[in-house]
């Protein structure tokens, strides 16, 4: 992805491996500062995923793949490391997919470092294809709404929901993006806006609860979001607040698309209600930055994701093309 530091623009990945060290753009401090978090062993990798130094389903998967390769280089017990990494975050399916991919390749006798690099490069290629297919949905002048961050920070290089927008812009289409701020962690306001700004894509951040007004006024042509886990029935989990956008979109006749690679599809889960939902610290809701915004002693509830049934989804933008929700099961059933 393009990153501009002190007026100078260069290409950077959300994470990469250098020798035995896994390096991450620290997403906790963007857009204020660009800092690199260095994971020196599997404990650091587990911390990076848990504390959201790195986040977004496919990027979490790549982190786990590199984490296992690193553990191999350091002579660790790989089964134990895989177990520790698999307990970092429960919802994003890519984490479990990547761990299984790595363990299978290692069992087959493949070099783990090669396998992790293959995994990362494969995700990049899949997201590039998602960009190509999704770009076909975007017209010159399209006003697109997105939720959370499903960009290059969450995926590598292209993104999922943001990949079609990147492609459209690079092809010369004039597009505009409404960016939901995405309370409580503000991935939209902090991360998606940062990526779009670096890419020169016109956009405005809106409070999460402003989307309904914009849809009613006819100011949204298309919605594209990412996914953390997709069930066989075409229901899916994504950042909290996605479901209400999908319901509003249907009410207002606005096409609602989900962009995600194969690694996000959980073929062992029949419907979206079976997806485990991560509950995060109350403090994410009770505080804005370091400042408490709620009265002392009051509690909050903080589910990090919600689930959307398939009836609200126009299509899934995948590396295999754009699929209707009912095509997920037909195509990917184990
Ligand atoms: O908690 P996060 O930031 O890891 O959640 C990520 C999301 O929910 C993204 O919106 C997303 O679409 C999945 S990652 C491409």
pLDDT tens, residue by residue, 10-37 = 899 999 999 999 999 999 999 999 999 9
| C-beta of 127 in contact with ligand 1 (< 6 A) | no
HSE value, Cβ hemisphere, 13 Å, CA-based, for 35: 13
Given 94, 228, 266, 306, the catalytic residue: 228
**Which of 161, 305, 301, 186 minimizes the C-alpha distance to 243?**
305
Q: Do the Cβ atoms of 45 and 70 come closer than 8 Å?
A: yes
Q: What share of the chain is helix, strand, coil (3-state, %, to 5)?
A: 40, 20, 40
What per-residue confidence (pLDDT) applies to 268? 97
Two structure tokens written together for 2: 């393009």
Two structure tokens written together for 70: 């690193």
Task: Compute, in angstroms, the gap from residue 318 CA to the centroid of ligand 1.
Answer: 16
Q: Which residue has the higher pLDDT, 7 or 56?
A: 56
Two structure tokens written together for 249: 């979109």
Two structure tokens written together for 101: 């991919």
Q: Tell me the residue ranges of DSSP E strands in 61-201.
A: 143-146, 176-180
- Distance CA(215)–CA(328), nearest Å, equals 28
- Distance CA(135)–CA(129), nearest Å, equals 10
- Distance CA(248)–CA(126), nearest Å, equals 29
The residue whose C-alpha atom lies closest to atom 6 belonging to ligand 1 is 56
**pLDDT higher than 90, residue 9:** no
Domains and CATH numbers, the chain: 2-125 (1.20.120.420), 136-332 (3.40.50.10470)
Task: Compute, in angstroms, the gap from residue 109 CA to the centroid of ligand 1.
Answer: 33
The residue whose C-alpha atom lies closest to atom 5 belonging to ligand 1 is 56
Per-residue pLDDT averaged across 230-252, rounded? 98
**pLDDT higher than 80, residue 5:** no
CA 284 to chain centre: 19
Q: Do the Cβ atoms of 181 and 188 come closer than 8 Å?
A: yes
Q: Do the Cβ atoms of 90 and 278 come closer than 8 Å?
A: yes
Residue 7 binned pLDDT confidence (cut-offs 50, 70, 90): confident
The residue whose C-alpha atom lies closest to atom 12 belonging to ligand 1 is 226
Residue 4 binned pLDDT confidence (cut-offs 50, 70, 90): confident
- Distance CA(199)–CA(3), nearest Å, equals 8
Coil, helix or strand at residue 220: coil
Task: Compute, in angstroms, the gap from residue 58 CA to the centroid of ligand 1.
Answer: 9
Q: Do the Cβ atoms of 179 and 204 come closer than 8 Å?
A: yes
Give the tens place of pLDDT for each residue, 290-324.
Answer: 999 999 999 999 999 999 999 999 999 999 999 99
| C-beta of 148 in contact with ligand 1 (< 6 A) | yes
What per-residue confidence (pLDDT) applies to 253? 98
**Residues with Cβ within 8 Å of residue 107, at least 6 apart in sequence:** none
What per-residue confidence (pLDDT) applies to 2? 84
**Cα–Cα distances in angstroms (integers) from residue 121 to residues 46, 94, 112, 115, 296, in the given order:** 22, 15, 14, 10, 48
Reply yes or no on whether 228 is catalytic: yes
- Distance CA(334)–CA(330), nearest Å, equals 10
Segments in 141-201 forming alpha helices (H): 152-155, 162-170, 187, 193-199
Two structure tokens written together for 239: 């950042």
Give the tens place of pLDDT for each residue, 80-136.
Answer: 999 999 999 999 999 999 999 999 999 999 999 999 999 999 999 999 999 999 999
| C-beta of 215 in contact with ligand 1 (< 6 A) | no
Task: Compute, in angstroms, the gap from residue 187 CA to the centroid of ligand 1.
Answer: 8
Cis bond upstream, residue 184 (ω within 30): yes
């Amino acid at each position: 992805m393009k990153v501009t530091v002190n007026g100078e623009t260069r290409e950077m990945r959300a994470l990469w491996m250098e020798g035995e060290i896994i390096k991450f753009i620290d997403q906790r401090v963007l857009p204020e500062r660009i800092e690199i978090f260095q994971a020196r062993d599997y404990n650091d990798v587990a911390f990076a995923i848990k504390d959201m130094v790195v986040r977004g389903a496919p990027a979490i998967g790549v982190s786990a793949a590199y984490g296992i390769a690193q553990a191999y280089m350091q002579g660790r017990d790989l089964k134990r490391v895989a177990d520790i990494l698999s307990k970092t975050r429960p919802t994003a399916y890519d984490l479990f997919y990547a761990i299984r991919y790595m363990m299978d390749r290692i069992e087959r006798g493949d070099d783990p470092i090669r396998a992790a690099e293959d995994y990362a490069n494969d995700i990049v290629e899949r997201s590039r294809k998602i960009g190509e297919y999704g770009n076909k949905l975007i017209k010159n002048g399209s006003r697109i709404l997105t939720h959370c961050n499903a960009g290059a920070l969450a995926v590598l290089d292209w993104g999922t929901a943001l990949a079609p927008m990147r492609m459209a812009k690079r092809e010369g289409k004039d597009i505009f993006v409404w960016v939901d701020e995405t309370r409580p962690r503000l991935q939209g306001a902090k991360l998606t806006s940062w990526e779009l700004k670096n890419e020169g894509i016109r956009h405005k951040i809106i409070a999460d609860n402003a989307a309904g007004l914009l849809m009613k006024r006819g100011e949204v042509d298309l919605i594209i979001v990412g996914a953390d886990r997709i069930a066989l029935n075409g229901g899916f989990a994504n950042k909290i607040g996605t479901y209400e956008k999908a319901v509003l979109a249907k009410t207002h006749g606005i096409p609602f698309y989900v962009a995600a690679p194969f690694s996000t599809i959980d073929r062992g889960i029949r419907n979206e209600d079976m997806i485990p939902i991560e509950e995060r610290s109350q403090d994410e809701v009770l505080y804005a930055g370091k400042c408490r915004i709620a009265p002392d002693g009051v509690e909050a509830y903080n589910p990090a994701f919600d689930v959307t049934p398939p009836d609200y989804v126009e299509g899934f933008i995948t590396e295999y093309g754009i699929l209707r929700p009912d095509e997920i099961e037909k195509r990917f059933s184990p």
